[in-house]
Copies of this chain bind each other. A is one copy, B any other.
Amino acid sequence: MKLRQILTISVKLKVSFLNKRCISTINNHLNREMSLPRNYFENTGLLKEGHYNLQVGAPGSKDLAKIATYFEAATESLSKSDKRFGETLQYGTMPGDKFVCDEVAKFLSRQYGQTVQSGDLMITPGASMGLLILIRRFTNPDDNMFVENPTYPVFAKYVTADKFIKTVPIPMEKDGMDLKVLQEKLEALPKKEVSKRWPFRALMYVIPTHHNPTGVNYSPEKCRKIVELARKYNLLVICDDVYNALNYVSSPSNPTKFEFSPQRLFAYDKKDDADYQGNVVSNGTLSKIVAPGLRVGWYEAPKRVIDSLQDTYDAVSGGGYNPYVSNLTAEVLKSGKIDEHVQHLRVAHKERMAAVISTVETKLGKYGVTISHPEGGYFLWIKLPENISSAEVLSDSSKNENVTFVKGEIASVVGDFSNYIRLSIAYYECAEMVKGVEGLCRSIERTINLKNRL
């Protein structure tokens, strides 16, 4: 109780502001991405005022408090229609209630600047479960999944460890994965008969837009080639399309009018192609732009995939995924408030990214430290000199600067990138973020100087 009181007294968006629930949330994220014991965060005293946890890929508390008011309003609005409100509590329809699919399609069309068809959507319990449902539906544990190296750290850490599937890493280039390596690996893929129930020989997991952690966007050429390969080798390509609304490119003359993100990979798998089969799924979520606690996401997927997924024990016995909260969410989307909110995120994130990039380059450029310049998303990717490990930096920064981050090697299924650091710009507001990054820069500098002296 004492700790909580102390914490709630303090101001603004320092970690010290967070109450017990948020502490646990962050603690979980720490554990997730740093393989630390569950109570590390509390036991090491990292929660004292002024700690900066730069690894949390989650929206900030102020944003969520605002989102909460939208959900209150949506609940009131739904409750005016007694019957409909009650129905949202019934087993849901598949592939998602029509109202929900329609509102998600309209929202995505506005955010993407391209048409998303309601009929291509299936509602999911968020992208994490969405990914697992796909893996489990279409593969056995001895099947292969091509993944980027580096990739989403939690995926890298858990999916192989959980024995759901074998992962095959493919190096990332500046415009997407290295397709030469991919083709070699595809040629070496074990033979596997495909059938209506098992239409795919292997899976691929990619983050084509505002890639986590590198920030890369896939080039149109790579997108086209991946679709071609997916058709030739019967691959299911699962796109983690969770940052697509968060594009920060705008013209200097109109800095808050943002361009759309590059066209998503799903759109390259054109239904009117002569050799169309349906090989790409856009696995999306509202966690990064509305709220993760909802667990509402969607597949934008080929008919054969949706047909298969809605005829499973999960979908049938449970009566669709999260009918109540997805209906509430659709009410919120319909209100247009999220469009405003996403615009607010773009402005805020762009400012934070620029500030962090500038801080790192100003303070560490002379040491050969580089940082990514992403066009959108949540993450920055720092490259340290080859002889400096992020583990050494983390050891210093957590001890001397109360700063933590994701070590690069956690983003690799084979443990590469030990001299890289991933930062999230989602959680802290700009001034706080910069203070944390300044501490990180001091740690990096100390680590480099120490190494050079040895």
Contacts and interface: CB of A to CB of B under 8 A. Distances in A.
Contacts of A318: 125-126, 128-129, 292, 295
A91 B29 contact: yes
B97 A28 contact: no
Contacts of A141: 140-141
A321 interface: yes
Interface stretch (A155-163, A347-355, A400-408): A155-163
A76 interface: yes
Contacts of A87: 19, 21-22, 25, 61, 64
Contacts of A125: 125, 129, 295, 318, 322
A144 interface: no
23 contacts: A21-B84, A21-B87, A22-B90, A24-B93, A25-B93, A29-B91, A58-B90, A64-B87, A65-B83, A67-B86, A68-B85, A72-B76, A72-B85, A75-B75, A90-B291, A90-B292, A129-B318, A158-B317, A159-B313, A292-B318, A293-B323, A294-B325, A295-B325
B85 A65 contact: yes
Given A65-B82, A65-B83, A89-B294, A72 B71 contact: no
A86 B72 contact: no
A339 B239 CA distance: 44
Interface in A176-219: none
Given A314-B129, A325-B322, A68 B89 contact: yes
3 A-B pairs with the lowest CB-CB distances in the bound complex, closest first: A89-B291, A65-B86, A158-B313
A278 interface: no
A317 B22 contact: no
Nearest to A63: B86
Interface string A399-439: 00000000000000000000000000000000000000000
A89 B75 contact: no
Interface centre among A25, A31, A94, A295 (most CB of B within 10 A): A295
Interface string A53-83: 0000011010011111101100110110011
A314 B132 contact: yes
Contacts of A323: 292-293, 295
Contacts of A320: 28
Interface in A1-38: 19, 21-22, 24-25, 27-29, 31-32
A238 B328 CA distance: 32
B292 A91 contact: yes
Given A132-B313, A312-B162, A316-B32, A293 B154 contact: no
Contacts of A164: 136, 313
Q: How often does this chain occur in the complex, in copies?
A: 2
Interface centre among A31, A58, A97, A322 (most CB of B within 10 A): A322
A65 to B, nearest CB: 4
B92 A32 contact: no
Interface residues of A, number: 77
A162 B314 CA distance: 10
A128 B295 CA distance: 16
A113 B89 CA distance: 27
Contacts of A79: 68-69, 72
Nearest to A66: B86
A370 interface: no
Contacts of A322: 125, 295, 322, 325
A431 to B, nearest CB: 21
B158 A93 contact: no
A277 interface: no
Contact of A291 (B24, B314, B324): B324
Interface centre among A91, A126, A131, A155 (most CB of B within 10 A): A91
A88 interface: yes
Contacts of A27: 93
Contacts of A28: 91, 93-94, 316, 319-320
B126 A25 contact: no
A136 B139 CA distance: 13
Nearest to A307: B38
B312 A158 contact: yes
Contacts of A59: 90
Interface string A138-179: 001100000000001011001100111000000000000000
